[in-house]
Amino acid sequence: MVRDRPQIYWDMDGTLVDSHGAKADAFVYAFRDLADSEITVRRLHDKHAGIPRRHKIQLMGKHLLGQEESGMSIGARVDAFEEHLRSSLKNAELFHGAVEVLSEFCNVAAQVIVTAAPLHEAQHLLNELGVDQYFDRIYGFPDSKAKSIRDFRTHAGPNTVAVLVGDSEQDYLTAKECGIPFVQVASGVQEVICGGAECVYALGELPTVLHKMLTGSGYPGSSRVQQ
């Protein structure tokens, strides 16, 4: 039963799915009307990883223009972003080792996707990549990652172990907010997070770390779900 199993919460983009470049290109496309904006857009995309695209576009526009854009302008940029992304995501791939680690833990833990991407997009992409069957639940925008974790944790027993696996500082802050440990998959795009978070540099390194966290076998950061 899900209630009795440990819980692994997975970020999607940048952790399991190598979509960073595709999304960076889509943000650049959304601001194609602003000359010499590409370098800044790519830098802000990296800096603000893990937040919903509309919020990120709002931040980018304010930085580039020095003022808030109208809701209509932001909406038009979101539409342009999604138009470009639909095409480029067709070439998205899983990071090496993703299938192996998901398969290893599918009968050990409840596995849950928490992503800032729209829910329908996440469901479609994971289905196209052939890994949707590994997840007990897929959450996406408009629900925040923290809200998604809190919702699924209502299915947990009082001693259920949980962990969040992600790549960004936003994921780390989400885990901290929810009171569960965090493992960073440092793919080379995001900086390694300081402050005690466990870090691996490839998905193939995750099983050893996760088994320790899920069994509580001497791992100092292990945490149990609080009801």
Give the mean pLDDT of the chain.
89
pLDDT in tens, 13-61: 999 999 988 999 999 999 999 999 999 999 999 888 888 999 999 999 9
Q: What pLDDT is attached to residue 188? A: 63
pLDDT at 203 over 90: yes
pLDDT at 199 over 70: yes
Would you tell me the crossing angle of helices 71-88 and 53-65 to the nearest 10 degrees?
120
Asked whether 85 and 177 are in contact (CB, 8 A), the reply is: no
pLDDT at 174 over 90: yes
57 or 217, which is more confident? 57
